[in-house]
Amino acid sequence: MEVITSPADTTALMTELNRRISDKSLFGYLLIGPDIDAKGAFRFFARNIGDAHTLDKVDDALRRAVIGARLNARQLTITRADLDSVTRRVPLITLKVDDQGKASRGNFGIVYLVTFAYLMFFFMPIIAYGVTALRSVLEEKSSRIIEVLLSSVSPFDLFMGKIAGLGLVGLTQVGAYVLTGVLLSGYSASMAPAGMLKDVGAMFSPGLMTLFLVYFLLGYTLYLSIFTAIGSMVNTEQEAQHMQQPIIFMLVVPMYATFFFISNPDSTAARIVSMIPFF
């Protein structure tokens, strides 16, 4: 840990520290203003502000240090009002430093909730419509409908048609949910604080939404194909349940791992898992 007091050029120092954060040679830094009781006196800059454990440690250390400073300033003449005053929580402002070294306001709660929303929109349709595809194929096999269909089309065409049909049904429903969310967010925007709207807007930027859409379509198609293939391999509901358990497991593992990766997005485990297509 390095302590720098009264730098000659604060702006230049912050630019250099932000560059070091972008280069991953520095985890983060804490900027303390001259008046510890002023709003925004404590600002924490880091590449990842989703690490709740680190933020709690910084907040606790600040609280202890500020309480000591306030007690010394009052020369230990403590009354009940003074005690409440010196032990009040320290407002810590978190700022996320991007790859270009630019810092922007961030909030762990918003990061967590938005990540959870992305997670639900990503995995729930895959699980729901994947199982629907499996049962649809199984039902067609048990009712002999598939024999009639195969007399007119090839197995590959039937397979691709099943994926395309169920895939579009699922995407239509997801699109309806997204549209509803957009309409509701437009209504609630007038009642939300301006800072919160800015934080949420950054998490739903066009770049992130584009990446989400691309990966969602790839994952949706991949798992829908797997579930459809399983349906073509089994003959009973019991066999289908046994066959789909490993697939459900492959979906559940990254869902739970995401809560760890929120705090450690640059960890080796996160990088390895992100390279596995099934995850």
pLDDT of the residue at 186: 60
Kindly state the tokens that stand for 172.
């239509």
C-alpha distances (whole Å) from 64 to each of 58, 78, 79, 94 are 10, 16, 19, 19
> Which residue type is seen at 37?
D
Amino acid at 158: L
Q: Which residues of 31-54 are buried (b: 16+ CB within 10 A; e: fewer)?
A: beeeeeeeeebbbbbbbbbbbeeb
Which helix H or strand E contains 28, and what residues bound it?
Answer: strand 28-32
Average confidence (pLDDT) per 10 residues, the chain, 279 residues: 67 84 84 80 80 79 78 67 66 70 68 76 82 82 75 80 80 77 62 54 69 83 86 80 84 79 74 76
- Given a contact cutoff of 8 angstroms between Cβ atoms, the answer to whether 11 and 2 are in contact is no
Q: Locate the domains of the chain by residue range.
A: 10-106, 108-274
**pLDDT at residue 64, as a whole number:** 76
Question: CA-to-CA distance for 46 and 24, rounded, in angstroms?
Answer: 10
Q: Would you give the DSSP letter of residue 8?
A: S
- Specify burial of residue 162 (Cβ count, 10 A radius: 0-12, 13-18, 19+): buried
pLDDT value at position 98?
Answer: 67
Contacts of 226 (CB under 8 A, 6+ apart): 130, 247
| Alpha-carbon span 90 to 56, nearest angstrom | 12
Distance CA 183, CA 169 (A): 21
Residue with tokens 């400073």: 69
Rounded to a whole number of angstroms, the distance between the first and last alpha carbons of the chain is 36
Using CA atoms, how far apart are residues 230 and 162, in angstroms rounded to an integer?
A: 13
Query: Contact, 159 vs 167, CB < 8 A?
Result: no
Cα separations (Å) of 229 from 90, 133, 240?
57, 9, 11
